Amino acid sequence: MTISIVTGVAGFIGSNLAETLLKSGETIVGIDEINDYYDPKFKRNNLTALQEYPNFKFIEASIESLDWRSLLADTEVIYHQAAQAGVRASWGQSFHYYTERNINATQIILEAAKETKSLKRLVFASTSSIYGNAETLPTPETICPQPVSPYGITKLAAERLCELYYQNFQVPVTMLRYFSVYGPRQRPDMAFHKFFKAAIEKTAIPIYGDGQQTRDFTFVGDIVAANLAAAVVPEAIGEIFNIGGGSRVVLADVLDKIDAIVGFSIQKNYLESARGDARHTGADVSKASKILGYNPQVSLVEGLTREWEWARAFYS
pLDDT tens-digit readout, 6-35: 999 999 999 999 999 999 999 999 999 999
**Averaged pLDDT of the chain:** 96
pLDDT in tens, 126-180: 999 999 999 899 999 999 999 999 999 999 999 999 999 999 999 999 999 999 9
The whole-number pLDDT of residue 285 equals: 98
Kindly state the percentage of the chain with pLDDT values over 70. Answer: 100
Reference 266, options 184, 316, 197, 171; nearest CA is: 197
166 noted as active-site residue: no
Strands 27-32 and 218-219, how do they pair? unpaired
Strands 56-60 and 77-80, how do they pair? unpaired
Q: Catalytic residue among 37, 38, 151, 166, which?
A: 151
Strands 205-208 and 181-182, how do they pair? unpaired
Question: Average pLDDT of 84-100?
Answer: 95
In DSSP notation, 99-120 reads IIIIIIHHHHHHHHHTT-TT--
∠ CA 249-131-97, rounded to 5°: 105
pLDDT in tens, 245-274: 988 999 999 999 999 999 999 999 999 998
The whole-number pLDDT of residue 251 equals: 96
Would you list the domain boundaries of the chain?
A: 3-184+217-247+281-296
Q: Cβ contacts of residue 73 below 8 Å, gap of 6+?
A: 116, 118
**Is residue 1 pLDDT above 80, yes or no?**
no
Kindly state the percentage of the chain with pLDDT values over 90. Answer: 96
Enter the pTM of the model.
0.97
Domain 3-184+217-247+281-296 has CATH 3.90.230.10: no
Calpha distance 58→46 (Å, rounded): 12
Reference 126, options 91, 71, 173, 89; nearest CA is: 173
The whole-number pLDDT of residue 275 equals: 87
In DSSP notation, 265-297 reads PPPEEEEPPPTT--SB--B--HHHHHHH-----
Reference 66, options 19, 29, 39; nearest CA is: 29
User: Using an 8 Å Cβ cutoff, are 155 and 126 in contact?
Assistant: yes
What backbone torsions phi and psi does residue 134 show, to the nearest 5 degrees? -65, 145
The whole-number pLDDT of residue 165 equals: 98
* Element at 206 (helix H, strand E): strand 205-208
The whole-number pLDDT of residue 55 equals: 97
- The 3-state DSSP class for residue 242 equals strand
What is the four-CA torsion angle of 94, 98, 100, 105, rounded to 10 degrees?
160
Calpha distance 70→84 (Å, rounded): 25
